């Protein structure tokens, strides 16, 4: 097929023809690449990434068994319309609501990091150690659990309003991960919180 005969007919009569043992591989290469193309298009190499979350169970918890969050450590984050974030520290009676965004600089991340500086710094150093292969994965998990178990670390309550979307929820959970906040929970929003948002932001869209 693609082979061009180069001999000049030097064969003598009567001699048996020497057949070439060479096989033309071109069709086989065609086939191989066709299959490669097919598999590249129809398969994916990536496994999806996931976030693990544990929600509290709906079983009624008795008053005395409930863990009370220390007011000085509590941060309440509320997710609003158009990616707006409202937050306050402590109890709703004394606190003032502020508005911020999801921006990587000057947004909610800076506020959380500021409050969680001790833990975040230690985790950051630990991560650097792990990246340099000074400690193993198991050591890392054990150490980071120890660091996260800090009494002074803030507890974050995430309250999403009906105006927010799923992206906001995932973003805020991601911020918890980035800021190494160990204690956080997704809590249903209360009427009082809604009133506070409405007072602070007239175009919050809340009913």
Q: Which residues sit at the interface with another protein, rule CB under 8 A?
A: 2-4, 6, 24-26, 28-29, 32-33, 35-36, 39-40, 42-45, 47-58, 79, 104, 109, 113, 120-121, 124, 160-171, 173-174, 177-178, 186, 188
Nearer to another protein, 2 or 15 (CB): 2
> How far apart are CB 204 and another protein at their closest, in Å?
14
> How far apart are CB 93 and another protein at their closest, in Å?
26
Nearer to another protein, 42 or 66 (CB): 42
CB 48 within 8 A of CB 60: no
Phi, psi of 54 (to 5 degrees): -115, 125
> How far apart are CB 133 and another protein at their closest, in Å?
18
- Is the C-alpha dihedral spanning 122, 126, 131, 132 positive or negative? positive
Nearer to another protein, 6 or 94 (CB): 6
Nearer to another protein, 29 or 71 (CB): 29
> How far apart are CB 98 and another protein at their closest, in Å?
21
> How far apart are CB 158 and another protein at their closest, in Å?
11
Report how far residue 30's alpha carbon sits from residue 26's, in angstroms, rounded to the nearest whole number. 6
Report how far residue 29's alpha carbon sits from residue 32's, in angstroms, rounded to the nearest whole number. 5
Nearer to another protein, 10 or 50 (CB): 50
Return the structure tokens found at 67: 């863990």
113, 149, 160, 187 from 167: Cα distances, Å: 21, 28, 11, 17
Nearer to another protein, 25 or 139 (CB): 25
Residue 200 neighbours by CB under 8 Å, 6+ apart: 86, 97, 98, 99
Report how far residue 70's alpha carbon sits from residue 182's, in angstroms, rounded to the nearest whole number. 15
> How far apart are CB 184 and another protein at their closest, in Å?
14
Report how far residue 111's alpha carbon sits from residue 179's, in angstroms, rounded to the nearest whole number. 10
């Amino acid at each position: 097929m693609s082979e061009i005969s180069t001999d000049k007919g030097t064969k003598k009569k009567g001699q048996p023809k020497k057949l070439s043992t060479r096989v033309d591989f071109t069709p086989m290469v065609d086939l191989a690449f066709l299959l490669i193309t097919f598999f590249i298009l129809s398969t994916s190499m990536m496994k999806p990434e996931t976030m693990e979350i544990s929600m509290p169970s709906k079983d009624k918890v008795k008053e005395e068994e409930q863990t009370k969050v220390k007011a000085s450590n509590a941060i309440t984050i509320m997710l609003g319309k158009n990616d707006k974030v409202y937050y306050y520290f402590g109890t709703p009676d004394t606190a003032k609501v502020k508005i911020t965004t999801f921006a990587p600089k000057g947004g909610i991340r800076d506020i959380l990091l500021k409050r969680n500086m001790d833990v975040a710094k230690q985790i950051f150093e630990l991560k650097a150690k792990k990246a340099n292969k000074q400690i193993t994965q198991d050591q890392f998990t054990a150490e980071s659990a120890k660091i996260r178990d800090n009494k002074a670390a803030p507890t974050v309550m995430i309250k999403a309003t009906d105006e927010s979307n799923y992206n906001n929820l995932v973003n805020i959970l991601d911020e918890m991960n980035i800021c190494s906040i160990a204690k956080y929970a997704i809590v249903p929003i209360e009427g009082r919180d809604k009133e506070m948002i409405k007072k602070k932001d007239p175009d919050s869209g809340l009913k």
